[in-house]
Amino acid sequence: MILSALLTSVGINLGICFLFFTLYSILRKQPINARLYAPRLVAERKLKDTGFNLERLLPSAGWVKRAWELSEDDLLESSGLDGVVFMRIITFSLKVFSIAALIGMAILLPVNFTGSQLKIDISDLPNKSLDAFSISNVNNGSNRLWIHFCAIYTFTAAVCCLLYYEYKYLSLKRIDYFYASQPQPRQFTVLVRSIPTVSGQRLDESVEHFFREYHPSTYISHTIVRRTNKLQQLTNDAEKLYKSVAQMKSQEYTRGFLGIFGNKAQQLSKLEKRLEVVEDNMRMEHKQSTLGGKEVPAAFVYFKSRFGAAIALHMQQGINPTKWITEEAPEPDDVYWPFFSTSYLGRWICKLGMLVGTFLLTVLFFLPVLVVQSLTHLEQLERYFPFLKNILRLTVVSQVITGYLPSLILQLFLSFIPPIMKTMSSIQGYISTSEIQKSACSKMIRFTTWNVFFANVLSGSALYGFDLILEPKKVPLLLAQGVPAQATFFISYVVTSGWTSLSSELFQLMALVFSYIKRIFSGKESDDLVVPSIPYEKEIPKILSLGLLGITYFFLAPLILPFILVYFCMGYLIFRNQLLNVYAPKFEMSGKYWPIVHNSTIFSLVLMHIIAMGIFVLKELPLASTLSAPLPVLTLLFNEYCRQRFLPIFTTFATECLVAKDKKEQDNPRMAEFLDKLVDAYKDPALKPKVNDNNNDDNRLTSPLLRSGEIRV
Amino acid sequence: MILSALLTSVGINLGICFLFFTLYSILRKQPINARLYAPRLVAERKLKDTGFNLERLLPSAGWVKRAWELSEDDLLESSGLDGVVFMRIITFSLKVFSIAALIGMAILLPVNFTGSQLKIDISDLPNKSLDAFSISNVNNGSNRLWIHFCAIYTFTAAVCCLLYYEYKYLSLKRIDYFYASQPQPRQFTVLVRSIPTVSGQRLDESVEHFFREYHPSTYISHTIVRRTNKLQQLTNDAEKLYKSVAQMKSQEYTRGFLGIFGNKAQQLSKLEKRLEVVEDNMRMEHKQSTLGGKEVPAAFVYFKSRFGAAIALHMQQGINPTKWITEEAPEPDDVYWPFFSTSYLGRWICKLGMLVGTFLLTVLFFLPVLVVQSLTHLEQLERYFPFLKNILRLTVVSQVITGYLPSLILQLFLSFIPPIMKTMSSIQGYISTSEIQKSACSKMIRFTTWNVFFANVLSGSALYGFDLILEPKKVPLLLAQGVPAQATFFISYVVTSGWTSLSSELFQLMALVFSYIKRIFSGKESDDLVVPSIPYEKEIPKILSLGLLGITYFFLAPLILPFILVYFCMGYLIFRNQLLNVYAPKFEMSGKYWPIVHNSTIFSLVLMHIIAMGIFVLKELPLASTLSAPLPVLTLLFNEYCRQRFLPIFTTFATECLVAKDKKEQDNPRMAEFLDKLVDAYKDPALKPKVNDNNNDDNRLTSPLLRSGEIRV
C-alpha cells in the first residue's frame, strides 16, 4: 500500500467520522430519537422535553462538554465500578500512547527519516510506501539504532510503572466499592453443583443435611435448581399465543361486529383452544418441576454472613473433589439457567470441546484474512478478474481497493465473531451471563490478536503460523521481517476499525435505520425499551488490539502513533457520552476486566521485545539484540509480581474485608429483613408467577393465567 | 556395547549382589552389627540377644521370610502412610512390568527376532549388539509393526487402569489415616508469614489483634518466630567447649593428681574462661531473642479446631495478598528454623535463583555424562591415552571398560547430587524438612530424567538438547533414532544402578566399613544411635528412572524388561526388610509422594508415545504413526481427570473430613489437655531449656548452665 492509498483511506474515514458526528449532534436532540440515543435517560425518566426551537436543528457540541465534565465519582455512581474500569482502560491507553507518541514523533521519527538505507526519493513520496518513516530506513549497523534500543527500555519501564499504579489504584477502588456496597444476595450465596445422589434421600434433604452438619452456625437455607427449559418454552409459546389472541380480539372489537368474518372467528377459537392446551401442559410441567421430578443436582445455598459463604466457597466441601463443588453465585438476574443440567464430566467435555472449537474458529478465520490481504496486491486481482482491468486502472478505484476495502472487509468479517464466541462460552458451562461475556471477551482478544495481527503479518506464507509452533527459533526473525512491512496496512486499519467504528458507535447507523423502517411500516415504535449495557466482548478486544498495534509499532513505525492517540482521545469522549446516555450497567463484575487488560498489555510488550531482538539482528547490530534479551524476562517477572500482589484482590475478597463488612452490618436492623428475603432471591424465572411490570400497556402482558399466579403450586 | 560386554557387566553385578546377600545374611545376626542392620529394633528395644550358637555363622534367609510375610496393616502401623505408599510404588511398578514383560517377552521379542532388517548372523551373536531383539530388526514397512502398535495401546490402557486404581486406593487410605490419627499440633496450627509491621505496635500485638478480630471463635494463641541462628551457634559452641572441659577433667581425675601437668591445667583454665564468655554471650542473646529484639514477621497461630485452622489456611487473610500469608504448619520437629527471616520478596528471589541454579546444575551435569559415554567407544580412549593400548586390547579389560565402568561412573557422579538438591531446596524457602525432602525428590526426578535418559540418548551431538527446545518438530525422529541405540547401555545401567545399589542398600558396605574403622581406632562405638528414615530423595527418583526406562523401552527392546522385573522383585523384599529393621518414619507426609509418582508415570507414557510416533515413521509405516497421535492426547486427558478427581485429596482435607473429625473428638476429655499443651508446641529448640534425655550417659550432657535452665528468662 502506497502513501496515496493510505491517504485515500484516511480521507474516506475522516469524512465518515465528520458526517456521523454532525448528524449525531443534530439527531440526538430530536425527541423521536431519544429511545435510541439516550435510552438510559428515558428509562430513568431524566429526559426533559424542551419543546421545539430552532437550535434543535443545528449541530451543537453540548454533549462533548457534558462528557468531558463527568467526574469519576459520578461515573462510579451511575455506571458502577465496571464503567470506571472501562474508562480507565481508555485513560491508561491515552497515557501510554502519549508517552509513546512523544518519544516516537520527537526522537525516533527524525532518526528514521534521516537514514538512507532505502534510498527513497523524497519528491516521489506519494507513490512510495511509508517506509521512509520506519526503522527500515535507518542504515544497517548504524549506531543510531541505539536510540531505538534506549527508547524501547524507557517505554517498557514507563508502561510497567503505569500498569503497576493502575493495578494498585483499581484494587483499592475495588475494595472501597465492596465496603460501600449494599448487601447483595450473591455475597451471601454459594452455588453448589454436582450434589451426590444418595439412594432414598431427595436432593433437597441431602443439601439440607450436608450444610446443617458442616456449616451449622452460618447456613440458612437453599434453593434447588430445577430443569425448566421445557416450561420456559411453553411459557414463551403461551405468551405468543395470548398476544395473538388479544390482538385479534382487539381488531374484531374495532370492527364492531363479532363473527361477521366467520373465517376470523374460526381462527380465533382455534387459537384459544391451542392456548388452553398449552396452558394445561404448562400447569403439568410446573407441577412436575416444583415437586422435584426435574431436580438438577445443583443448589443455591444461603448463609448468614459473607464470611460464612466465603468459607463454603473456598474450602473443598466433599471428600470427593468432584462432588459438592462450590462456585461463586452470580447476581440473581445474571444467572444463565439453561446450562444447569449437565454433570461434572459433561461440563468438562463441553469445556474441552469448546476450547477446541474456539481454536479451530480462530485458525480457520485465517482464510478470509488471506483474501483480504490479496486485495492489497492489485495485480493478483486483475489476473483473477480480467474484466475489471479497466476499472482497476483508475487511480481512485485502485486506491480505494488497496487502501480502504481490505480493512473494511476485515472489519465486516470480524463483526460476526463476538456473537459466535458468546455462544461458545455459554456452551462451555458458565452459569452467569456476565461470566459468559467475560470469557467471550478473552476469546475475542486471542482471536483478534491472532487474526488481525499475526495473520496479516505472516500472511506472506499461507498457514505458516502453524509451523511456527514447531520452530520457535525462527519467530523473532520472521516477525522482524513481516511486521514493519505491514505498517501502512495497520495505519489504515486503525483509521477504519478505530475511528469509524467509534463514530458509528456514537451514531448507531444501523439501529437508526432499523428504527425508521420500523416506524414507517408498523406505524409505531416497538414497545420494549431496552437499555443496553456496554458490549465488553466487542469493545475491550478492539481497544486492546489497537493497543497491541501501538506498542509493537512504537519503535518500528512511529507514524502509527498519532492515529492511535486520536482514536483514544475520541474514545474518551464518546464512551463517556455513551455511559451517560446509553449504557446502563446490567451486572456488576467489580472490575474483573482489568486483569485481562493487564495481561494483554504485558503480552504486547513481550511481543515488542521479541520483534526488537529480531530487528536488531536484521539491522546488523547483534549486540543490541543480546542486550534486549533481559527485557522480556524482566517484564515477565514484573507481571508475575503483579499477579501475586494484585490478582488475588480481583478474584476474591480477603477475610479481613469480609469480616469487617459483616461486623459493620451486624447491628443494622435492615439486615434481618434482607436475610428473610434472601431465601427467595434465586428462584428460576420460569417458576416465578409473572408480574406485569408495566400496567399502562396492556398489550405487553402475558397470559392471564400467568399473571394471576394461578399456576403457583 | 556388544553382547559379551553386557554379559560381563551383568556377571560382575550378579556376583556383587550374591556376595552382599550372603554377607548380610551372616553379619546381620551378629549383635555387634545390630546398630547398623537393625537400628530401629535397637531403639525400640525389641532385639533379643539369643546368645551365641553355630547357626549365627551360617547364612540364612529368615529375613526374607519375615519381609515377605509383613502385611500392609502392620506396615501402616510401624512405618506410617508414607511407608505404605513407598511400598505401593514398588508393587505398582511390579504390576506394570509384569504386564509389560508378559507382552514384551511373549509377543514382541519373537516378532523382533524373526525379522530380517539388520541381517544379523545368529552364530556370531556374542560379538554383536543386542539389536536382533529390538524393533530395529523388524523389516521396514512390515505389517508386523501393527503388533507393536496394538501392544502400545494395550499397555497404555493397562497402566492407566493401574494408575487410576492406585490413586483411588491411596486417596481412601489417606482419608482413613486422617480419621484414625491422634490429634497432632500441626492440624490445629497455621504458620503465618509476612506479618505487616504497624508502627507503635509489636508483632505480638499485631498477631493477637488480627486473629482476635477476624477469627474470634477459633483463635487460641500464637508463637512468634524469633531469629535464633546466632543463639543456636553459641549453644553449639558452648556444648563443644563443655564437652572438652568435661573430658579433660575426667582425664585429669584418672591420673590422680590435679596440676601435675601444668600445661594441661593452663589449657583447662583457658577453656573454662572461654566457656564463661560464650555463656555470657548466650545469656545476652537469649534475652534479646525472647524480649522481641529479634522477632521475625512470622508466627505459628493455634486454633481450637482443625476446621478453624483450615479456614485460616485456605482463605486469603489480609487485603494485601503478600501480607498475612498462611501456610500449612509442619510437625514441630519438622520445622526448618534457619530460613525464617527473609521477607516475601527475598523468598521470591531465592526461589527464582534456586530454580535457575537447579536448571544450570541439570544442564552442566551433561559434561560428565559425555565423558562416560565416550568410554563406550574404546577407539577414542586409545587415541587419548596411547600407553593404555596394550591393556585395552585384553578382552576382559575392554569388556569391563565398555560394559561395567560407564554405568558405575555415572552412578558415582549421581550419588553426589541428592545432597546438593537438598541444599538448594532448603535455600528455596521451604519451612519444613519434609517439604525440603519432597522438593529435592522432584528436582532429582527431573535431573535423572534429563541426565540419565535424555543425555545418554542424545549424547551423539553435544549439547544438542538445548536446540531441541527451539525445534520441537524434530524431537520424535531424533528420539526414535537415539533411543533404540542405547538399549544395551541401559540394560547395563539397570543392573548396576538397580541391582547392585539395592544389594548395597541392604548390606550398607560403606557404613559397615566406617563402623569397623571407628571401633578399631576409638575402641568403642559412637554414642548416638541414629535411626534413619527412608531417603526418599534418593530412592524414589531411582525407582522412577528405572520405570521410565522400562516404559520407554517396552516396545523398542523388550529384553530390558526381565532385568527391571528382577529389580522390583528384589526391591520388594529388601525395602520391606529395611522398613522393618532400619528405617523409622521421621515426619508424616501422609502419602504426598504418590502424585509425584503418578505424574512421572504419565510423563513416561507420553514419552513412549512420542518415540513410537517417530519409530513408525522411521520404519516406513506412517499410518501407524498417525494413529498413535490420539494416545498422548488421551493419556493427558486421563491425567487431567485424575488431577481433578484425586489430587485435591492429597493437598488438603475437605470440610467434610475436618468437621467430622472435630466433632468426633469434641467430647474427648483429652482434647482439653491437648489444646493446653498446644500453645507450647512450636517453640524454637534454641530457646527451649535443654533437658538431658539420657541420664545414664554423663558424657553427652551439655553445659550445666543449659541443663539447669538457668538462662530461662
Per the model's pLDDT, the better-predicted residue between B680 and A437 turns out to be A437
Q: What is residue B678's predicted lDDT score, i.e. its pLDDT?
A: 87
Q: List, as one string, the DSSP characters of A64-101.
A: HHHHHH--HHHHHHHHHHHHHHHHHHHHHHHHHHHHHH
Angle between helices B145-180 and B72-103 (to 10 degrees): 170
Confidence of residue B210 (pLDDT cuts 50, 70, 90): very high
Query: What does the DSSP 8-state code read for residue B335?
Result: B
Sequence-ordered strand ranges (E) for B47-200 = 189-193
**Residues β-bridged to residue A193:** A298, A325
CA distance A470 to A495: 35
Query: What does the DSSP 8-state code read for residue B401?
Result: I
CA-wise closest residue to A76 among A65, A85, A66? A85
Q: What is the mean pLDDT of residues A202-226?
A: 89
CA distance A321 to chain B (A): 6
CA distance A214 to chain B (A): 6
Q: Lowest mean pLDDT: which of A78-87, A420-429, A567-576, B304-313?
A: A420-429
Confidence of residue A710 (pLDDT cuts 50, 70, 90): very low
Query: Could A321 and B659 be called an inter-chain contact, meaning their C-beta atoms sit closer than 8 Å?
Result: no
Which of helix, strand or coil describes residue A189? Answer: strand
Q: Which of B312, B352, B654 sits opposite A316 (nearest CB)?
A: B654
Q: Which residue of A has its CA nearest to B321?
A: A645
Query: What does the DSSP 8-state code read for residue A256?
Result: S
Per the model's pLDDT, the better-predicted residue between B284 and A617 turns out to be A617
Query: Could A654 and B310 be called an inter-chain contact, meaning their C-beta atoms sit closer than 8 Å?
Result: no
Q: What is residue A467's predicted lDDT score, i.e. its pLDDT?
A: 58
Scored b (16 or more CB within 10 A) or e, A209-236 reads: ebbeebbeebbbbbbbbbbbeebbebbe
Q: How many CB pairs (< 8 A) connect A and B?
A: 99
Q: Which of B310, B321, B657 sits opposite A319 (nearest CB)?
A: B657
Confidence of residue A376 (pLDDT cuts 50, 70, 90): low
Residues of B in contact with A355 (CB under 8 A): none
Q: Lowest mean pLDDT: which of B36-50, B190-204, B306-320, B431-445?
A: B36-50
**A309-342 residue pLDDT tens:** 999 999 999 898 888 999 998 888 888 877 666 7
Q: What is residue B32's predicted lDDT score, i.e. its pLDDT?
A: 76
Q: Which residue of B has its CA nearest to A311?
A: B311
Q: Lowest mean pLDDT: which of A289-293, B284-288, B433-437?
A: A289-293
CA distance B450 to chain A (A): 21
CA distance A627 to chain B (A): 19
**B348-381 residue pLDDT tens:** 888 889 889 988 888 888 777 777 766 666 666 6
Distance of CA A93 to the CA centre of its chain: 17
Confidence of residue A191 (pLDDT cuts 50, 70, 90): very high
Instruction: Find out whether B628 and B118 touch, Cβ atoms under 8 Å.
Output: no
Query: Could A175 and B319 be called an inter-chain contact, meaning their C-beta atoms sit closer than 8 Å?
Result: yes
CA distance A679 to A224: 11
Q: What is residue B459's predicted lDDT score, i.e. its pLDDT?
A: 66
Instruction: Find out whether B156 and B635 touch, Cβ atoms under 8 Å.
Output: yes
**Which helix (H) or strand (E) element contains residue A351?**
helix A344-364
**Residues β-bridged to residue A226:** A295
Q: Which residue of A has its CA nearest to B471?
A: A471
Residues 190-229 of B with CB under 8 A from A: 213-215
Q: What is the mean pLDDT of residues A270-288?
A: 79
Q: Using the predicted structure, report yes or no on whether residue A707 has a pLDDT greater than 50.
A: no
Q: Which of B352, B656, B662 should be substituted to probe chain A, the one whose Cβ sees the most A Cβ atoms within 10 Å?
A: B656
Instruction: Find out whether A331 and A587 touch, Cβ atoms under 8 Å.
Output: yes
Percent of chain B with pLDDT over 90: 26
Angle between helices B630-645 and B594-618 (to 10 degrees): 170
Q: Which residue of B has its CA nearest to A313?
A: B315
Q: What is the mean pLDDT of residues B112-136?
A: 73
Query: Could A656 and B214 be called an inter-chain contact, meaning their C-beta atoms sit closer than 8 Å?
Result: yes
What is the residue-averaged pLDDT of chain B? Answer: 81
Residues of A in contact with B653 (CB under 8 A): 316
CA distance A255 to A268: 15
Percent of chain B with pLDDT over 70: 84
Instruction: Find out whether B151 and B555 touch, Cβ atoms under 8 Å.
Output: yes
Can you tell me which residue has the cell 449504557? Answer: A583
Q: What is residue A698's predicted lDDT score, i.e. its pLDDT?
A: 40
Q: What is the mean pLDDT of residues A563-583?
A: 90
Q: What is residue A158's predicted lDDT score, i.e. its pLDDT?
A: 95
Cell of B614: 517417530
User: A630 and chain B: CB distance < 8 Å anywhere?
Assistant: no
Backbone φ and ψ for A589, nearest 5 degrees, come out as -105, 0
Q: Using the predicted structure, report yes or no on whether residue A493 has a pLDDT greater than 80.
A: yes
> Could you tell me the sign of the dihedral formed by the alpha carbons of A596, A599, A605, A608, in that order?
negative
Q: Using the predicted structure, report yes or no on whether residue A460 has a pLDDT greater than 60.
A: no
End-to-end CA distance of chain A: 70
Residues 6 or more apart whose CB falls under 8 angstroms from that of B512 comprise B27, B33, B36
Q: Is A318 left (phi over 0), alpha (psi -120 to 50) or beta?
A: beta
CA-wise closest residue to B657 among B308, B330, B307, B329? B307
Q: Which of A213, A315, A321 sits opposite B314 (nearest CB)?
A: A315
A350 burial type by CB count under 10 A (0-12 exposed, 13-18 middle, 19+ buried): middle
Can you tell me which residue has the cell 475491550? Answer: A540
Residues of A in contact with B322 (CB under 8 A): 644-645
**Whole-number Cα distances in Å, A703 to A252, A287, A707, A711, B694:** 19, 18, 6, 11, 90
Query: Edge-to-edge strands of the sheet including B219-226?
Result: B219-226, B295-303, B189-193, B325-328
Instruction: Find out whether B245 and B275 touch, Cβ atoms under 8 Å.
Output: yes
Instruction: Find out whether B507 and B582 touch, Cβ atoms under 8 Å.
Output: no
Instruction: Find out whether B207 and B303 touch, Cβ atoms under 8 Å.
Output: no
Query: Edge-to-edge strands of the sheet including A219-226?
Result: A219-226, A295-303, A189-193, A325-328
Assembly ipTM: 0.83
Confidence of residue B647 (pLDDT cuts 50, 70, 90): very high
CA distance A563 to A553: 12
User: B646 and chain A: CB distance < 8 Å anywhere?
Assistant: yes
Cell of B576: 520391606
Decide the pairing of beta strands A295-303 and B189-193.
Answer: unpaired
CA distance B535 to B418: 9
Helices (DSSP H) in A582-618: which residue ranges?
Answer: 594-618
CA-wise closest residue to A588 among A181, A251, A301, A259? A181
Cell of A150: 534506549
Query: What does the DSSP 8-state code read for residue A689?
Result: P
Q: Using the predicted structure, report yes or no on whether residue B448 has a pLDDT greater than 60.
A: yes
User: B472 and chain A: CB distance < 8 Å anywhere?
Assistant: yes
CA distance A535 to A554: 28
CA-wise closest residue to B683 among B402, B306, B348, B337? B337
Can you tell me which residue has the cell 487402569? Answer: B161
Q: Which amino acid is at B197?
A: T
CA-wise closest residue to A271 among A253, A248, A288, A287? A248
Instruction: Find out whether A417 and A365 touch, Cβ atoms under 8 Å.
Output: yes
